[in-house]
A and B are shown apart, each in its own frame.
Chain A
Amino acid sequence: MQALLSQLFAGLSLGSVLLLAALGLSLTFGQMGVINMAHGEFMMAGAYTAFMVQGAIADAGISLLLAIPLGFLVGGVMGVILEATLIHRMYHRPLDTLLVTWGVALILQQAARDIFGAPNVEVRAPGWLSGSIDLGVTQVPAARLFILALAVTAVVGLSLLLRTTPLGRRIRGVVQNRDLAETVGVCTRSTDRLTFFIGSGLAGIAGVALTLLGSTGPTLGTNYIVDAFLVVVAGGVAQIKGAVIAAFGLGLLQATFEYSTTASIAKVLVFVVIVVFLQIRPQGIFSLRTRSLA
């Protein structure tokens, strides 16, 4: 029972990490159709933001809480710059965006190496996030619980934004039918830019959170970008709820396979499951039905 619960939590925790990494991507890739390979580097920028904030404010707890909004801002601004300079020129050439943003990713990685050095840097976890919390039947690491809560908060926040605010309505309108949205007076240009800001900002938040678990270095983004795309593709490109279900599904699958085999075999099995699943449902778990011709 205890083993089952701790594996269940391991799966949920892995799922929440995947979800944080993929949530922004489900906006930019899923809703706008931009294959942004530099998404992982926006996460890296968020992680280095946490490092910089900790350099300025010694208290690990305050600096972490401050780094979350700042990471969002840094990721978002980088996203807007990328969108305004490069991506908006190639909205109808998805394969070109893949190459261009991959190049940007390499440039950003080298920039991080030049600024911060090639070795990893240390971001200390605050005292209240190191150690475990006893839930009676099983113990869960506090840092992982925090990331789970952060992922849930980010999903709820993003859903509320998309459902209830005028900006959210505009974003959904542009996603569902770009031409019609433009015809009724929605400025698709500024909507695209704001969507990209939010999507990239979420990558920044993910980066801040990941400093609690793994290494903070120039290649942080490359560790997560493939998994993030997997989540978005498996979830169905147009839906936040698809990303949520896919992230937790893949997390639980990975944890279950890891428990019965090894980490490497588990990864292979997860890939096999995704390949088979996409053979049966190429559009992912959810797909968006619209009357748009595009």
Chain B
Amino acid sequence: MFNTLNGDSNVAFFKEYKNAGLTAAAMPVVSVSIAEEEVGGVGVDNLVGQLTAWNYYQTIDSPANKAFVAAFKAKYGQARVTSDPMEAAYTSLFLWKAMVEKAKSFQTDDIRNAAAGVSHAAPEGTVTVNGENHHIAKTALIGKVAPDGLIYTVWSSGSPIEPDPFLRGYDWAKGLSG
């Protein structure tokens, strides 16, 4: 099952999924909007073994991520967890800082012109701003929800994927991208 539900609907969905007698072994669900933060609200029991697709998990084993997680827990409490949207917000600020330093200016136009190729060693790994569309190249991950409520990587693209927001690299999208 490919699950594009967002927000509270996921809670109702996974509760009904379990009530219908389905399990991750019988019919696995790949969700695109479930992070560590949501696991607590849906209930670990309802999610164990399910897959998620995202760019960051708290369990990423790197010095940058360990420092990020430790600093986050020190500030907000040991029981809290980090998630992809948090990491993305955190990283975006460092990217902006790098752009300002490169542009040596706070003017929006100067920063935009300096954005191309700006890179940062984020908790998720190195991310780089694409000069053409200003999206960032990120590493794609697929993770599995474990009984401890955290998500562990089971597949990784290995290296960052160049952003393709206008679907130029897909044969089936020819004629759509214009």
**Interface positions of A (Cβ within 8 A of B):** 119-125, 130-132, 139, 141-144, 212-217, 219, 223
Which of B12, B37, B43, B44 is packed against the most chain A CB atoms within 10 Å?
Answer: B43
Taking a contact as CB atoms closer than 8 A, the residue among A122, A141, A212 that contacts B42 in the complex is A122
Q: Does B11 contact A (CB under 8 A)?
A: yes
Contacts of B12 in A (CB 8 A): 213-215
How distant is A153 from chain B, measured CB to nearest CB, in Å?
21
Decide: A119 and B40 in contact? CB cutoff 8 A.
yes
In Å, the complex CA distance between A119 and B37 comes to 7
Query: Known: A119-B37, A119-B38, A120-B40. Is A215-B8 also a contact (CB below 8 A)?
Result: yes
How distant is A147 from chain B, measured CB to nearest CB, in Å?
12
Contacts of A213 in B (CB 8 A): 12, 15-16
Q: Can you report 19 A-B residue pairs in the complex whose CB atoms are below 8 A from each other? A: A119-B37, A120-B11, A120-B40, A120-B42, A121-B41, A123-B43, A124-B45, A125-B15, A130-B18, A130-B19, A132-B19, A139-B21, A212-B15, A213-B12, A213-B16, A214-B15, A215-B11, A217-B41, A223-B8
Taking a contact as CB atoms closer than 8 A, the residue among B11, B38, B45 that contacts A214 in the complex is B11
In Å, the complex CA distance between A132 and B16 comes to 10
Q: Does B25 contact A (CB under 8 A)?
A: no
Q: Does B20 contact A (CB under 8 A)?
A: yes
Query: B28-66: which residues lie under 8 A (CB-CB) from chain A?
Result: 37-38, 40-45
Interface of B is mostly: helix
In Å, the complex CA distance between A75 and B90 comes to 39
Decide: B41 and A215 in contact? CB cutoff 8 A.
yes
**Interface positions of B (Cβ within 8 A of A):** 8, 11-12, 15-16, 18-21, 37-38, 40-45
How distant is A87 from chain B, measured CB to nearest CB, in Å?
29
Decide: A122 and B41 in contact? CB cutoff 8 A.
yes
How distant is B111 from chain A, measured CB to nearest CB, in Å?
31
Decide: B37 and A214 in contact? CB cutoff 8 A.
no
Decide: A217 and B8 in contact? CB cutoff 8 A.
yes
In Å, the complex CA distance between A119 and B11 comes to 12
Contacts of B37 in A (CB 8 A): 119
In Å, the complex CA distance between A206 and B50 comes to 30
In Å, the complex CA distance between A120 and B20 comes to 23
Nearest-neighbor residue (CB-CB) of A60 within chain B? B45
Contacts of B40 in A (CB 8 A): 119-122
Closest 5 CB pairs of A and B: A120-B41, A215-B11, A141-B19, A215-B8, A122-B43
Which of B15, B16, B38 is packed against the most chain A CB atoms within 10 Å?
Answer: B15
In Å, the complex CA distance between A214 and B43 comes to 11
In Å, the complex CA distance between A122 and B18 comes to 15
Nearest-neighbor residue (CB-CB) of B19 within chain A? A141
How distant is B10 from chain A, measured CB to nearest CB, in Å?
8
Contacts of B18 in A (CB 8 A): 130-131
In Å, the complex CA distance between A119 and B41 comes to 7
How distant is B83 from chain A, measured CB to nearest CB, in Å?
10
Contacts of B41 in A (CB 8 A): 119-122, 215-217
Query: Known: A131-B21, A141-B20. Is A120-B15 also a contact (CB below 8 A)?
Result: no
How distant is A16 from chain B, measured CB to nearest CB, in Å?
15
Which of A130, A132, A215 is packed against the most chain B CB atoms within 10 Å?
Answer: A215
Nearest-neighbor residue (CB-CB) of B81 within chain A? A119
